[in-house]
Amino acid sequence: MADPLPFSPALRRPPEGAADRLLVVMSDIEMGPGGPLDDFPHSDFLGEVLLAYGREPFADLAVDLVFNGDTLDLLKTPWQDTHPHHITAEVALGKLAQIIEAHGGFFDALGEFLAPGPERRRVWFVVGNHDIDLLFPEVCDAIRERIGAPEDSVRFPGIELDIGDVHIEHGCQSDPMFAVDIEEPFLEHEDNRILNLPWGTIGLLEMALRLQPVLFHLDRLRPRQTLFELMPEVQELLRSVAFRYWTRDYWRNWLRQRDPVKKVSWTLFKDIAYRLGSSDFELSVTAKFQALLKDGEHRVIVIGHEHAAGMWTWGGRRLLRTGCMRDEYMLEDEGTAQRRIPWSWAEIYLKGGEAVRSHLVDAEGPPSLPGRVPESIFDVLPRVRELLATSHGPEVSAAVDEQEMDEQESEEEDEP
């Protein structure tokens, strides 16, 4: 069988005996439920890439595949045609079932990769802001069952992972918008255990995802500022929707419903004020991890979250930021061209638990599937202008009005 990797792995193999374990760290794959809104339609190809790490020149090494957050896009996957913000184990499993059905090649490959056993092969799923549902033990058990591997082979360390002197985490914990309360990851609500979602996640579920059917491809374009310069109406629409939600809907619902998931704090207020005022909704978390390099606790730190590959050093220590694996495109020629951004992930070789070599790997990945990329990014402008004409969009307006009616009816029923 031909080597499926679109690069030469032999060029990256350390000298014989220099390492006994290889960590392969990927982030931001964002496998969804299939269809045009799914940002990752390449699970079969990815499965072949993963299986190559069990063959030469890696066959003599113990190999850990670390999926460092946002592997499964459980955030944008609907449940019964809705995006509820009260996530129970039943809801999470319902979303997971759709992803498993759409991406069988990925799970099949993991089962084959793990066949030699946990002494030689392990898989780790670190929690990111798109797959917080991995905190449910029921979700972890369902993934293990689908892969068909023993518990020791498929592991769920939570929000971070240390292997030897290598530290791995997605990075969202350093963003107040998406940081999970690790002291209280679950809440009790109406006799159900639900995820204690970060406020940014709730905002995406209640606000941003209502625009997904219109803007889904624009979300895959980089750089974001160039997109806004080419189509200022898109930025105006997003700002309008966000302003209405964060200055009215979120707070009013918090006051009326006392929803346990919705919380108000000074940190939240300051962060919202900054993001609305600057129109900068994408906070970089890299600076925090650059500072961590200086404390000397870890020789290598690996993060994701920002969908942009990068590397920083401090003496012999190294910070690697993996790029994303989902479909993303670079805007060129005033928006008339969209060039596929290569996949990017990390390889770290260890000897006796100490990192001896680390680097990023770039690969072109498979070509975009037919019909996945519109001929012109400007095709969406008429619909954007229609939504903008209502100041916050009919989908959002209808949802808000319906919610207000439900709240009013509920209040009337409670009156003596």
Q: Which residue has the higher pLDDT, 398 or 33?
A: 33
Structure tokens at 106: 């990925």
Whole-number average pLDDT of the chain:
88
Mean pLDDT of 138-162: 96
pTM of the predicted protein model: 0.90
DSSP-derived 3-state class of residue 273? helix
The answer to whether residue 386 is domain-embedded is no
CA–CA separation, 31 vs 93, rounded Å? Answer: 15
The answer to whether residue 156 is domain-embedded is yes
CA–CA separation, 243 vs 248, rounded Å? Answer: 8
The answer to whether residue 366 is domain-embedded is yes
pLDDT at 15: 67
75 neighbors 131 (Cβ within 8 angstroms): yes
Mean pLDDT of 289-295: 90
- Angle, vertex CA 88, rays to CA 84 and CA 94, nearest 5: 75
The answer to whether residue 399 is domain-embedded is no
For the domain that residue 118 is a member of, what is the CATH number? 3.60.21.10
Please tell me the total count of domains within the chain. 1
- pLDDT per position as a tens digit, 99-133: 999 999 999 999 999 999 989 999 999 999 999 99
Sign of CA dihedral 196, 198, 199, 204: negative
**Could you tell me what percent of the chain has a pLDDT over 90?**
69
Q: Which residue has the higher pLDDT, 404 or 296?
A: 296
DSSP string, 318-369: EEEE----S--EEEETTTTEEEEPPEEEEEEEEETTEEEEEEEEEE--SPPP
The answer to whether residue 409 is domain-embedded is no
The answer to whether residue 54 is domain-embedded is yes
Per the structure, the complete domain to which residue 95 belongs is given by 12-175+285-373
The answer to whether residue 64 is domain-embedded is yes
The answer to whether residue 320 is domain-embedded is yes
